[in-house]
Amino acid sequence: MTDLEPRPVEGVVPHDPNAVLSPAALDRLDRSVPDNTKTAYRRQARDFIAWCEERGRDTLPASAQTLADYVSHLCDQDKAPSTIEQAIATIRVAHREAGHDGQPDTRAALRILKTHKRDRAEVGKRKRQSAPVTLDPLRKMIDATDPATLTGQRDRVLLVIGFAMMARRSELAALHISDLTFTDDGITVLIRKSKTDQGADGAEVNIPHGVHPDTDPIRVARAWLASLAERGTTEGPLLRRINRWGQLQPGGMSGWSINERVKHLAKAAGLPNADAFTAHGIRAGGPTEAAKAGQPVAFIADHGRWSKTSPQVMEYIRTVDKWRDNPMRGIGL
């Protein structure tokens, strides 16, 4: 439910019993939307409401002119196109859930957004992408950790397991100790739910042994689990919170804290353009290196839980192919 939706009045019984949802149904509907999505939608809704109130415009239903003018306002603030697209989606969802099907008319708003994208391109602004954490920066970030400390061991698991399973930060944050099963071939990681797993069927990712001790997923994971067990922790979140004194804390890391940790490690490693590295770079590094090694696209997509026709995974592959299959290579320049 967004802040644009009308709220029911307590004590008033709807005239139509067919329009009533049970508390259990309402709860499941609410939980069907990820928390970070709900937070983003609420923020977008609040901003739109405030803008409309300042100008005496209606929020529900909003006219096509109101939406177009609001989008233009966001363009004036030089908001990223993705942020503006999210704002439009938020307003459309609020209208649909309030019963205003087909409203608002987004055609003018989308044309303004298209102009905004072109204007940004003309001044050299492009979609910001997280730098992939490929093997070289991964090893430098590993070298920046101290394996003799809890924090260092935890960070190594974050980096190596995240890289090897091509993990989203939300997937890493959701991992529990019991989700790791060690076999003769390596580790099988159970992902209970993920962004693209709409049916919550779960998925298993097989991670083989590595060849370097510091980046061998099995060795790194076993060292971390042994340290946790020594402190009486054998269940619960895999990636644990650790305070500034290196002491284990209750609860696991959030997706946000994982992202901040990757940024910190990139800076600690002295990586060039360190600000470009985020948790998404961990996910992007695996397919990039796999493509360099000549692994089939279908294998990469399956391992990273992408659709085999995903434009995202193909973007990683094309980046590698542009260098490997460059028409200027070997022509004698």
Q: Write down the pLDDT at residue 1.
A: 46
Residue among 190, 4, 196 nearest 93 (CA): 4
Which domain covers residue 232, as residue numbers? 135-324
Asked whether residue 34 falls in the same domain as residue 110, the answer is: yes
Whether 171 and 194 have beta carbons less than 8 Å apart is answered as yes
Angle of helix 255-268 versus helix 150-164 axis, rounded to 10: 100
Q: Write down the pLDDT at residue 217.
A: 93
Q: Name the 3-class secondary structure at 329.
A: coil
In order along the chain (333 residues), what is the average pLDDT of each group of 10 residues?
A: 51 61 78 72 89 90 91 89 88 85 86 90 67 89 93 94 91 93 92 65 85 92 94 92 88 90 92 86 87 82 78 71 66 67
Q: Write down the pLDDT at residue 9.
A: 45
Q: Name the 3-class secondary structure at 208.
A: strand
Q: Write down the pLDDT at residue 289.
A: 87
Q: Write down the pLDDT at residue 333.
A: 72
Q: Write down the pLDDT at residue 125.
A: 63
Asked whether residue 196 falls in the same domain as residue 297, the answer is: yes
How would you classify the pairing of strands 203-208 and 240-242?
A: unpaired
Q: Write down the pLDDT at residue 328.
A: 65
Strand partners, 203: 191
Domain count, the chain: 2
Q: What is the DSSP string of 118-133?
A: HHHHHTT-----PPP-
Domain boundary among 79, 99, 122: 122
Q: Write down the pLDDT at residue 327.
A: 67
Element (H, E) at 250: strand 248-252
- 294: exposed, middle or buried (Cβ count in 10 Å: 0-12, 13-18, 19+): exposed
Asked whether residue 27 falls in the same domain as residue 68, the answer is: yes
